[in-house]
Amino acid sequence: MIFLPNSSSLRNSGLPFSLRQSWLLLGAITTLTTILCAELAAQEDRNAYNIRAVLVDEGPTIDGSLEDAVWQLGALVDMFIQQEPDEGSPATERTEVRILHDGETLYLGVLAFDSDPQALTATEMRRDSERILSEDNFQVILDTFRDSRSAYMFVTNPLGAMFDQQIANEGEGGRFGRASSNVNRDWDGVWKVAARQVPNGWVAEIAIPMITLRFPESEPQTWGINLMRNIGRKNEQAFWSPIPKPYSITRVSLAGTMDNLNSLNRGRDLRITPFVTGGASRIQSAGVTDDALQRDIGMDLKYGVSASLNLDVTINTDFAQAEVDDEQVNLTRFALFYPEKRDFFLENASLFTVGSTEPFNRLADLFFTRRIGLSSSGETVPIIGGARLTGKVGRNDIAIMDVQTNGAFEESGENFLVARYSRNILARSKVGALFINKAQTEGTHYNRTYAVDMTLAPLANLTVTGFLAKTETPSISTGDMAGYLNATWLSQSWRIFGEFGDVQDNFNPEVGFLPRRGIRTTKLHLEWNPRPDRWGLRVLSPMYNIMYTTDQQNRLVSRRHHFMNGVQFDNGAYLNIWYNRNYERLDEPFTVGKGVTIAPGAYRYGQLRLSFNSNQARRVYYNLMLAPQTFFDGTRVDMNVVLGARVTSQFSTHAAYTRNHIDLPAGEFNVHLAAFRVDYALSPTITLRTVTQYNSSSEQWGTSARLRYTYRPGSDVYLVYNQVRRDPTDPTGLLELRDQRLMLKVTHLLSR
């Protein structure tokens, strides 16, 4: 039974009115979802799917062949069950997986039979490309702590491409390809793959060193494990331990187990990665040219304080290899979100995360690493060094980070201290706390954030998350709190959630992401997912969503009714139609474009959007979008075209163009955004990516090229070239070169 306080007890509780509202909303949501979905689907006991670990003296050679005799000693898994398209039926193609370990490395040998091997969809070699997930691939997920929450995930395809990620809270927060802060796709583990196509299908050998993983200090051990095969041309997903349709392999509470893990050896658990960088830059500003040679050295260190607790140290940190941000157009009054891409901040990033769960119209992220080492305009701020301690102690998750930046732009350097603690309770729940301190090295300014949070999963289909936070800033003493609650019900046919957020006027998390303050937002989402199983239709997604936002005086400032129907086809294509009915109140003029300002007032307008995406696994794929709409007191038409081609297994290209035409009484203008990307993979370890982007709102052309050569696991050579051209007086933006950089970075992993 779930206890929720009644209204009278809340009135006498002393809680602020807005937080009392959120508890009452949570009670209503929980009651509604329980009534709608009273019958829970029976969950299979994870212990029914068990692998007995096999220890061998010496592991196989990783060369894409399963002929080594030692493979015959491995545990055999060969029964896979469909999730899509025919849930519960045996997989249409046979898969054999053998698993063994030698104490220092876990090995998986995969033989993926295929009745039509010429039809395999395998065109992607680049590491961490999302395209791998839509092609033929094999996936393994390891819940090394068997906590039904966190895991390591490894994916490969018939070309030996590598895709890896860290999972927290079972990856919740994303759906139908949406991003989630609980899935860290940018994490790069040290592991090895060799794969090749054979006459009856394809073969892959996977080697995962124990030093790449964290696990308890006990013996013998039992890990959670699941295996999945995706058959690209059939759009079929089959699992060893069955996963119901609403979920993916990240649902580790439904994984099977691998027991009898003995003699695991992480060595001294010390990894030192020194690096050297060298290059040149030319920056032009106000008619002045500044040429500079750059050279530097630094070091990253990882040390296993225990098998489950890791210390990371970075000295003279350099992110020359980080990919450039994708250009975005902002026609709103609020800041845009750009994801983190710098290595040091990526590993175990989810352990620091406290914020709203929905990636669209996100309310707040209390800790946002892009506030460290980057200015508000995205310019690099030098990082002198930093340290991070992350991991588990029993049922406790610990994450502590301290980073020191140097002074830049005639400003003082800053120190950032972040401490996060959470305690796992029950089967899939946790409670925790967060503390952030930002302080000037030379100066008196500081900013602090205090928060407590929870994730409760009282039922398999029901998850409740929330936080209560306060900031501390000099000269601000009142109105500096925020609260948030979300309750989500997810079953095979329904997705229902409600959330409430209250952000006071002076809430100021300077090391967080906060698009909007001084508001109270309520959101309710109802989504039904029927499966016609005819006419080529796989899933329909009719939904209704309402977002209602007031200021702190409960005056309506924003409201959005969202009506949508998405259609997933058996062939992997996706059609989406939605309509938004908006209300916006402007208390101040809103400059939406150069010389075009919308006057204060109340506005009602509607947005129609139609989009179609072809199967992204095809060699030639495309996306089309058209959105005619009213916009405040005028009109707006958005269009987007994407065309991509994977010409060979080594060469692919992708072009995108977006146009926004805005016609208002105050003026008319167009915004253009274009991008062209070329990828070439000489092999899975040598890849080149070039990206050219144009954004008319910033009157800027940008070109970036990055060559990466992984000459051994964990050791890389990067050659990076970036340039920016900008000239407001030139309509093409091609004439003046503003920023040009060429950098070489070499890293070398020393491991003991």
Q: How, if at all, do strands 75-77 and 95-101 pair?
A: antiparallel
Percent of the chain with pLDDT strictly greater than 70: 90
Residue 23's pLDDT band (boundaries 50, 70, 90)?
very low
Three-class DSSP category at 29: helix
- pLDDT above 80: residue 57: yes
Strands (E), 48-132: 50-52, 75-77, 81-84, 95-101, 105-113
CA distances from 328 to 73, 338, 607, 674, 698 (A): 53, 9, 20, 10, 10
Amino acid identity of residue 436, one-letter, is I
Residue 490's pLDDT band (boundaries 50, 70, 90)?
confident
- pLDDT above 60: residue 408: no
pLDDT mean over 652-670? 94
Q: Residue 226: its pLDDT value, please?
A: 97
Q: How many CA atoms lie within 13 A of 151 on its CB side?
A: 31
| Order of all β-strands in the sheet with 105-113 | 75-77, 95-101, 105-113, 201-209, 192-198
Number of Cβ atoms within 10 Å of the Cβ of 587: 10
Beta carbons of 141 and 249 less than 8 angstroms apart: yes
Among the ranges given (82-96, 137-151, 237-251, 314-328), the one the predictor scored with the smallest mean pLDDT: 314-328
Residue 102's pLDDT band (boundaries 50, 70, 90)?
very high
Amino acid identity of residue 302, one-letter, is K
Q: Residue 286: its pLDDT value, please?
A: 62
pLDDT mean over 391-420? 86
Q: How, if at all, do strands 270-285 and 183-184 pair?
A: unpaired
- pLDDT above 60: residue 18: no
Beta carbons of 581 and 659 less than 8 angstroms apart: no
Q: Cα separation of 541 and 578, whole Å?
A: 11
Residue that wins the pLDDT comparison between 698 and 310: 310
- pLDDT above 60: residue 33: no
Number of Cβ atoms within 10 Å of the Cβ of 552: 15
Q: Residue 6: its pLDDT value, please?
A: 44
- pLDDT above 80: residue 719: yes
Residue 736's pLDDT band (boundaries 50, 70, 90)?
low
Beta carbons of 207 and 59 less than 8 angstroms apart: yes
Q: Residue 19: its pLDDT value, please?
A: 46
Q: Cα separation of 328 and 331, whole Å?
A: 10
Q: Cα separation of 579 and 627, whole Å?
A: 9
pLDDT mean over 682-711? 90
Q: What is the DSSP string of 252-308?
A: GGG-EEEEEE-----TT-EEEEEEEEEEEEEEEETTEEEEEEEEEEEEEEEEEEETT
What is the tens place of the pLDDT at every residue in 498-556? 999 999 999 999 999 999 999 999 999 999 989 887 888 988 999 999 999 999 999 99
Q: Residue 12: its pLDDT value, please?
A: 44
Q: Residue 491: its pLDDT value, please?
A: 86
Residue 713's pLDDT band (boundaries 50, 70, 90)?
confident
What is the tens place of the pLDDT at every residue in 557-591? 999 999 999 999 988 899 999 999 999 999 999 99
- Only one residue has tokens 């994303």, namely 174
Contacts of 745 (CB under 8 A, 6+ apart): 275, 276, 277, 318, 320, 321, 716, 717, 718, 720
Q: Domain map of the chain by residue range?
A: 7-36, 46-261
pLDDT mean over 269-290? 84
Residue that wins the pLDDT comparison between 522 and 283: 522
pLDDT mean over 10-38? 44
The separation between CA 640 and the C-alpha centre of its own chain, rounded to angstroms, equals 23
**What residues form DSSP beta bridges with 416?**
403, 438
What is the tens place of the pLDDT at every residue in 374-384? 876 667 888 89
Average per-residue pLDDT in the chain?
Answer: 86
- pLDDT above 60: residue 46: no
Q: Cα separation of 14 and 229, whole Å?
A: 54
Contacts of 748 (CB under 8 A, 6+ apart): 273, 274, 275, 715
543: left (phi over 0), alpha (psi -120 to 50) or beta: beta
Q: How, if at all, do strands 686-695 and 620-631 pair?
A: unpaired
CATH of 46-261, one of 1.20.1260.10, 1.20.58.100, 2.60.40.1190, 3.30.70.20: 2.60.40.1190
14: left (phi over 0), alpha (psi -120 to 50) or beta: left
Q: Cα separation of 710 and 683, whole Å?
A: 10
Give the angle 276-280-283 at the CA atoms, nearest 5°: 135
Beta carbons of 234 and 92 less than 8 angstroms apart: yes
Percent of the chain with pLDDT strictly greater than 90: 58
Among the ranges given (144-158, 306-320, 540-554), the one the predictor scored with the smallest mean pLDDT: 306-320
